[in-house]
Amino acid sequence: MLSQRCDNTKKKELIGEFKNGGREWRPQGEPEEVQVHDFLDQDLGKAIPYGVYDLSEDKGWVSVGIDHDTARFATEAIRRWWKKMGAKRYRNARELLITADGGGSNGSRCRLWKLALQELATQLEMPIHVCHFPPGTSKWNKIEHRMFCHITQNWRGRPLVSHEVIIQLIAHTRTKAGLKIRAELDAGRYPTGIKVSDEELAALRLKPAKFHGDWSYALLPARKRT
């Protein structure tokens, strides 16, 4: 059985009393006051939503990070989705299929993404297949117009004053078609600038596809030592 899902990072959001596009019903004469300038508040920080969307179930998972959007952060979101949602729904799954954008923290050229997925494949004891969208086609990713667009609509016109507010707004996003989303704060630290050497890359159990192996490949679990 193959569990198919797509993932992506939504744009970073500043935390605080900042203007948020859109309109919301308010009592007449009681507009919500916001800051004039949207500079980063060093105390409140920012939010980095990374989403996982299950195509067959129309259900999503969003990890809201506070540090950096890195390949480790992206892979941790996938691990959390599997632990909290995927494993229960797909008890007999033998492999995973991920569709992802061509760039960013889960980009096709990101070495750390492949290394982190190799570690996850070993932890889950199943191959992880990845299909990247070609450059310039990220909007084809169904997570954009089946999940993220509804999240944006749900929090329109509301200042995102805390991580808790963001998580609640994401988790309460619903559609008539049945979309449901779970959200969780990821307070982990994900440093940037981590380099993966040629030797580390060559040691991966990376299996490129016959057609465009740079965009479609599989990470196999590491062999068990005897």
For strand 46-54 and strand 180-186, is the pairing parallel, antiparallel, or unpaired? unpaired
Q: Which residues are registered as beta bridge partners of 152?
A: none
From first to last of the 226 residues of the chain, give the pLDDT tens digit: 444 556 677 777 777 665 566 555 556 655 556 465 565 667 778 899 999 999 989 999 999 999 999 999 999 999 999 999 999 999 999 999 999 998 889 999 999 999 999 999 999 999 999 999 998 887 888 899 899 999 988 887 677 888 999 999 999 999 999 999 999 999 999 999 999 999 999 999 999 999 999 999 999 999 876 6
Domains with residue ranges and CATH for the chain: 2-21+40-219 (3.30.420.10)
Contacts of residue 69, Cβ cutoff 8 Å, sequence gap at least 6: 9, 12, 48, 50, 104, 105, 190
